[in-house]
Amino acid sequence: MRWIHQELPIGCTCWPLEQLVGMCPPESEFAAAPDCPALAEQLARLAIEGDEPACAELLERILRSGIGMVEVYQDILGGTMRHVGEWYHLGAIDVAGEHAASSIVERLMYRASQIFGHGIPTNRTALLGGGPETWHVIGLRMLADVLRNQGWRVIFLGPNMPVPAFLKAVETRKPDLVLLSCHAVRSLDGTLEMIRALGSYRRTLPSGKTFLIGVGGGFVRNHPEYFRDAGADFQSEDLRSFATRTLPEIDRILGEGGHWVQDTFTRPRPSASPAF
C-alpha cells in the first residue's frame, strides 16, 4: 500500500478525527461510501474463523476508502465486536471463536493506529486501565489510540489491575485524565473501589495538580448512578461522543484549570458499540 505524506493544516497540531485517512491515496474499491454495518458483520464472520489475513486485507480496503478514525474504530471494529458479543451470548459461537475474533480485532486496531498516527504532543497525560475483574478493554484501547492521535501521552495498563498498583501508577505518572471501564456486574465492585480510591487520593493533591476521572462501558450505561455516586466526573456513551463532545470539554477544563460541572450521568440512548 502506498501512503502520501501531507503537511498538517495551518494552525493544527494533529489531524482532525474525521479527516485522518485523507492521507491515503484515492484508491477506494468501494463504489460509494463504505457500508459500515455490512463491513462490520463481514469482518466479524472472518474474525471468528480466525482468518487474520482476510481480515487484514479487508481493513486495508476500508482504510483506502478515506473514512475517518472514529468510523473505523466505532462503526466497523466496534461493530465487529458487537456482533461477536451477540453471537457468543446467543450460543452461536464458542469461547474459542470469541477469543480468536477479539485477538484479531486488537491486531487490526494496532494496524489502524499506525496509519492514523500520533499528534503533536500536547503535554497532557492520560492513564487508562481496567479495575479488578475487568477483562474486556478493547474499548479502552480505542480511546487510548484516539487520545494518542490527538497528541496526548497515553499510558495503557490493560485489564484486571489491582487497586494499589493502579494508584501507584497514578501517583508516579501524574496523569491529567484517568479512564476506567465496567462492562459487567462482576467488575462493578472493583471499579467502584477504584473510583473511590482515586477520589480519596485526588483530595490530597494541591490545587492545579488534580486529574479527571472518566468511566464507560455497558454496565455504566445501564447503571450510571453507581459511578456518579462513587465520585467519577463523567461517563461517555461511546467513542464518537467522547471524541466530539467529551474530549473538547476535557481540553477546556484542563486549559482553564477548572472542574467538571456538566452532568453526563444520564441514561443515554443505546450505543452502536461499547464506550470503553
**Cell of residue 20, nine digits:** 485522518
In-domain check, residue 261: no
Q: Specify the pTM.
A: 0.83
CATH number of the domain to which 54 belongs: 1.10.1240.10
Q: Which helix (H) or strand (E) holds 250?
A: helix 247-256
**Whether the predicted pLDDT of 60 surpasses 50:** yes
Looking at residue 263, its pLDDT comes to: 53
Angle, helices 79-89 vs 95-116, to 10°: value is 170
276: pLDDT strictly greater than 70: no
Yes or no: say if 218 and 185 are a contact pair by the CB < 8 Å rule.
Answer: no
Q: CA–CA separation, 160 vs 182, rounded Å?
A: 11
Q: Do residue 251 and residue 181 come from a single domain? A: yes
Q: What is the mean pLDDT of residues 77-101?
A: 97
Average pLDDT along the chain: 86
In a domain, 268, yes or no: no
Residue 37: the pLDDT is 96
All 3 cell numbers of residue 98? 470469541
For residue 54, pLDDT over 70 is answered with: yes
Q: How far apart are CA 107 and CA 77, in angstroms?
A: 11
The upper half-sphere exposure of residue 232, i.e. CA atoms within 13 Å in the direction of its Cβ, equals 25
Q: How many CA atoms lie within 13 A of 142 on its CB side?
A: 32
**110 and 152 both lie in a single domain:** no
Question: 134 with 206, same domain?
Answer: yes
234 & 131 share domain = yes
Contact 119, 94 (CB under 8 A): no
pLDDT tens, residue by residue, 96-109 = 999 999 999 999 99
Sequence-distant (6+) residues with CB within 8 A of 211 are 170, 174, 175, 176, 177, 178, 202
Range of the domain at 43: 19-116
CA 242 to chain centre: 9
| Residue 169 domain flag | yes
Give CA 200 to chain center in angstroms: 26
For 190-222, how does the pLDDT look when each residue is reduced to its tens digit (9 = 90+)?
A: 999 999 999 999 999 987 789 999 999 989 989
Among candidates 118, 114, 46, 43, which has minimal Cα distance to 78? Answer: 43
Q: For 55-75, what is the mean pLDDT?
A: 95
Domain count, the chain: 2
Assign residue 226 the CATH number of its domain: 3.40.50.280
Average pLDDT over every residue of 14-42: 63
Residue 87 sits in the same domain as residue 141 = no
pLDDT (mean) for 226-233? 95
**155 phi/psi in degrees, rounded to 5:** -120, 115
The last residue of one of the domains, among 86, 116, 146, is: 116
pLDDT (0 to 100) of residue 82: 96
Residue 3 lies in a domain: no
Q: Indicate if 180 and 213 belong to the same structural domain.
A: yes
Could you read off the pLDDT of 129-139 as tens digits, one per residue? 999 999 999 99
One domain, residues 220 and 178: yes
For residue 23, being part of any structural domain is answered with yes
Q: Is pLDDT at 267 greater than 50 in this prediction?
A: no
Task: Provide, rounded to the nearest whole percent, the portion of the chain with pLDDT above 90.
Answer: 72
